[in-house]
Amino acid sequence: MTAAGERQRSTIWRMNNQADDAVGGAVISGTVAYAGVMTRLDSRPIEQLLLQQGYETERTFTAVVVPGWLDIRERDELEITHPIDDVYYGKRFRIVSVQHSSHNRRDRRNYIILDLRRSIRAHTKQ
């Protein structure tokens, strides 16, 4: 069963700090916390006044995730995995905040609202 409006499926990555590498740099790796999560991802509009003043602004997004009983935390990452023709397919987003609905954890209508920022990795081999 899919809830109304869930257009994508995503994978939630739990990000962990590993031991430093040989030159003392931080090594961040992730493990899959949840796969195949029903998701609706929407981008937030950029404040036009900030653009007119020449400020660089981060792209922010909102995602609604079902089911609402998942243990999703700040600093986790969300990756869009389905459909493959989605504009954000394969892209990762850093979870900035997590808001749970007021429904009971066992209620089928339960959901989670996530505030996201686009996550770009500096090194591809991690």
Residues 96 and 85: beta-carbon distance below 8 Å: no
**What is the domain count for the chain?**
1
| CATH code, 48 | 2.40.10.270
Alpha-carbon span 96 to 5, nearest angstrom: 22
Q: Say if 2 falls within a structural domain.
A: no
The string of pLDDT tens digits covering residues 49-101 is 666 666 666 778 999 999 999 999 999 999 999 999 999 999 999 999 999 99
DSSP helix/strand/coil, 111: coil
Find the mean pLDDT for residues 107-113: 91
Find the mean pLDDT for residues 38-59: 74
Full DSSP string of 78-90:
EEEEE-TTSTTTT
Q: 104 falls in which pLDDT band (50, 70, 90)?
A: confident
In the block, residue with structure tokens 């922010």:
60
Domain that residue 37 falls in? 8-119
- The neighbour count for residue 18, using CB atoms within 10 Å, is 10
